[in-house]
Chains A and B, each alone.
Chain A
Amino acid sequence: MLHQLTLKDHLHEYHLFSNRAITLLVLCGLLLLALLSRLLYLQVVEHEHFTTLSEDNRVKLQPIAPNRGLIYDRNGILLADNLPSYRLEITAEQVDDMPSTLMELEEIIHIRETDRDRFDKLLARKPRFEAVPLRFHLSDEEVARFAVNRHRFSGVEIKAGLARHYPQGKLAVHAIGYVGRIDERSLKKLDSSNYSGTTHIGKTGVEKTYEKVLHGSVGVRQVETTAQGRVVRTLKRTPPVPGQNLYLTLDSRLQAAAEAAFGDHSGAAVALDPKTGDVLALVSMPTYDPNPFVNGIDYDDYAKLRDDRRQPLFNRALRGQYPPGSTIKPFIGLAGLEEGVTSVSSTTYCPGYYMLPGSSRKYRDWKHAGHGTVDLKKAITQSCDVYFYDLARSLGIARIHDYLQHFGFGKRTGIDIVGELPGLLPSPAWKRQHRGQPWFPGETIITGIGQGFFLSTPLQLAAATSVLANRGYWMRPNIIHAEQESGQDALLPHRAQIAETLSINNPQNWDMVIHAMVDVVHSAHGTARRIGKDSPYRIAGKTGTAQVYGLKKEEKYNAREIPEELRDHALFIAFAPVDDPKIAVAVIVEHGGGGGSVAAPIARKIMDSYLVDKPV
């Protein structure tokens, strides 16, 4: 029995095994079915989805920066250019021995410590097959030296790019501005996709104002890359749209003459075409070379400019706010005539000072002995202060404020260069609000000769002078002459715009004031007679002196006795030719002394350059 129990039932075991084996096969089939349905799901149902993911993996977009538009003056002279710029790049995976390669490179190319630091940082971060820049802006000599030694450096390459260059250097830098590397702050404000390939952006001047026009639109290169980012091939290329070229209203010959005319003086000059508002010259002296700013100026060089006592970085033409001084007199005179407060024939006696009724305070005339009996014409020609003290008192501050507003004082002209300041046209309301004090009658008196709180920029003065020249048309100053699509010859001109028309009831009032201004230059007693003697064209002008330093009651102003930085600013406004005004100028010479002796000759040189030396 026992023996039988251990016997194997072979047939039974065979059937048992076969059943189990077939069960396993069925199980295998089920598992396989599950797997195949998973594969069908991935490869058929979700195929589109995974194809997209696969393409996203494979295809990367690389931005191609557009070429920045060029800037020319109105005659087509290049002011801002894009020059080839060479940089040295090293691809780590192609270099056998990095330290010795760098050491040998240093023998032929100057490598600063900051270059090395930046290079080391990038090298640690970037994949080994990517080229890392070591030096930017190699000189031609360095490029040549490297070319000769190229065989010694595997993995080291010179790559060309474009960099902004200002061929005229210091010329008109306060108008053109410059570009610089995009910093963190401006990065947030920019359209990040359009600037994805761009390294530089307009920082000041036209470069900043017209950034959008100059920049253009970014292009895209679709490339196939490996998982590590190595580019395998380019699939598609959408070229960038270059920025538009700009033709400025500036006349660079005129600009150069104006800058030269200042000599060593600090100051500003603005020349406008009164008919169009075109800015012919925009001078702020001293000026500086914008080129070092393009790729980050050295800290020491920047500090030198920043700390310069004469403040070359300060844009005096747009942001310098000076008392207009006596240059305001033609405008006050016009207001007096128009309001009927004074007339061509009415006179005032000038004893050399002026006193308000009931006050013992003496408001002195610049001419100690006085001008005697003066009418409006004589008052403008000889710049009699007492006449205008009296006229200002008769007009009152409210009428002066309202009237001068029409000439653009106290508000920004709206020129298309960033950073303009509005000056200050004082009024009782302004004083209450900003100083918390009432308006005093004496303040009206000195406003009449452009002193006191009154401030204006050289640009405002030039624009106001244009209104005189135009007899009432206020043209907004503008710097763009024309735009040009890249690769096209046609220029798209900017249209001049009348911003405001000043209505004068009696047109003879214009004649009266303008005649007086002509006498300033062309009559025997005019304050600017020095520049009128040999002038081939007729000029209407007005001198001015802006006090920097308040004199004590009986102190006498003597330019030679006080230090230069306390001397008065010299001003001069003018337009010419009188019958058909083509140019309106405002000149301010800081601490220059007399308007007639210092500022007027500069204005004359500017006008000569435009009217006389103008090539046919």
Chain B
Amino acid sequence: MSRLLSTDHEDASQRGWQYRLHIDAPLLFSLVGLSAFGLIVLYSAGGENIELVERQLLRLGIAFGTMIAVAQVSPGVLQRLTPWVFVLGILLLLAVLIGGATSGGAQRWLDLYFVRFQPSEMMKLAVPMMVAWYLADVRLPPNRFQLLASGIMIAVPMLMIAKQPDLGTALLIASAGFFVLFLAGLHWRIMIFLGVMAGAAAPLIWHYMHDYQRQRVLTFLDPETDPLGTGYHIIQSKIAIGSGGLYGKGWLNGTQSQLDFLPERSTDFIFAVLAEEFGFIGITVLFTFYIFIVVRGILIAIQAQDTYTRLLAGSLSMTFFVYVIVNTGMVTGILPVVGLPLPMISYGGTSIVTLMAGFGILMSIQTHRKLLPT
């Protein structure tokens, strides 16, 4: 483990196949392990539907393929392309807002005739790339003007996505941008100032929220008020998790999930299935994977050789962690219900491809480093 995480004392002789193929083995193997675990849980959560598992396997295949493909692109190329990717993303978001396909009451999709494309997914990568690109050539920590400029780069796409409305993705994009600024040395004073501002803006945000979003917040504050409506999700998932206990009820034996008491059990609430059937032990295994991946990502960031790759790698790793925390926090009832999947485990979503593209960037950063004289 320590050898896997450690990248100190390297020389050319240690650089083997990983560098030739531009693959980071620790990341790859932990992601594969996590996906395998996810498929096992999904088989149970989906009611032993093997077709569901096969479709997810296909999706994972595409995601892993994307990751490896992205890993071949050198960070230099990525850096040069960044502004164009960002501008394209903004244009596509505009297109969605003007003429996007409506799905489930929200405009998120852009119908490109042959494929339905979600520009907000692209922005999950484009925003941290853009902020990192902007800050790459300035003296850090950034000054106020640079902060303001970065803030606009984050806020514009975030607000466009929030307007769709897709609060979960907007939140992820905001945090991805914020992590870049934080890693760039954002002053603590400013962070406190922003925090106070956010608190003051809360009533205003409440005012502009959709009814279902307000309901989610209210239900989060007290799930018992609406035990048959929105609160039902949280109550049932808490029962599933709690009844799982230390060792779980066993694979395929979770009564809450198998007997349909748990809603959204193969997608957003799959964590509750895992907790019910594999217990606290299973959760510990899951979190071990997640911690390993996040720590590995941060280490890659620390070892990165320039500001752009450093900031980008750090932000992507942290965004992955935000995914995990927001989803598990929601399912365990300590955060409000925000429709974010559990990364690598939940069924479906284009988000998995984006996620793996992000890991591709991390691998690219790690394996395109130049050998420096020690």
Contacts and interface: CB of A to CB of B under 8 A. Distances in A.
B295 A58 contact: no
A225 interface: yes
B260 A228 contact: yes
Given A25-B295, A47-B245, A16 B140 contact: yes
A8 B294 CA distance: 28
Interface stretch (A31-39, A298-306, A417-425, A470-478): A31-39
A38 B139 contact: no
Contact of B259 (A35, A39, A46, A225): A225
A12 B182 CA distance: 15
Interface in A258-273: none
B119 interface: no
Interface stretch (A49-57, A244-252, A488-496): A49-57
A47 B332 CA distance: 14
A54 B255 contact: yes
A20 interface: yes
Interface of B: 137-141, 179, 182-185, 236, 238-246, 255-256, 259-261, 275, 279-280, 283, 287, 291, 294-295, 298, 301-302, 307, 310-311, 314, 318, 321, 325, 328-329, 332-334
B296 to A, nearest CB: 11
A9 B141 CA distance: 11
A57 B239 contact: yes
A53 B239 contact: yes
A6 B328 CA distance: 44
Interface of A: 5-9, 12-13, 16-18, 20-21, 24-25, 28, 31-32, 34-36, 38-40, 42-44, 46-47, 49-51, 53-54, 57-58, 224-228, 232
B298 A54 contact: no
Contacts of B185: 13, 16-17, 20
12 contacts: A7-B139, A9-B139, A20-B182, A28-B291, A28-B318, A32-B287, A35-B332, A36-B283, A42-B332, A53-B243, A57-B236, A228-B260
Given A24-B314, A25-B295, A224-B259, A42 B139 contact: no
Contact of B242 (A28, A42, A224): A42
Contacts of A34: 334
Contacts of B141: 16
A40 B287 contact: no
B139 A24 contact: no
Given A16-B140, A227-B259, A39 B275 contact: yes
B279 A43 contact: yes
Contacts of B183: 17, 20-21, 24
A58 B246 CA distance: 20
Contact of A51 (B243, B261, B318): B243
A17 B313 CA distance: 12
Nearest to B182: A20
Given A24-B179, A46-B242, A17 B139 contact: no
Given A13-B140, A16-B185, A232-B259, A44 B318 contact: no
Nearest to B311: A17
A46 B302 CA distance: 41
Contact of B241 (A12, A24, A28, A39): A39
A85 B102 CA distance: 56
Contacts of A225: 259
Given A20-B182, A226-B259, A227-B259, A43 B241 contact: yes
A7 B310 CA distance: 18
Contacts of B334: 34-35, 38
B309 to A, nearest CB: 11
A35 B328 CA distance: 8
Contacts of B329: 35
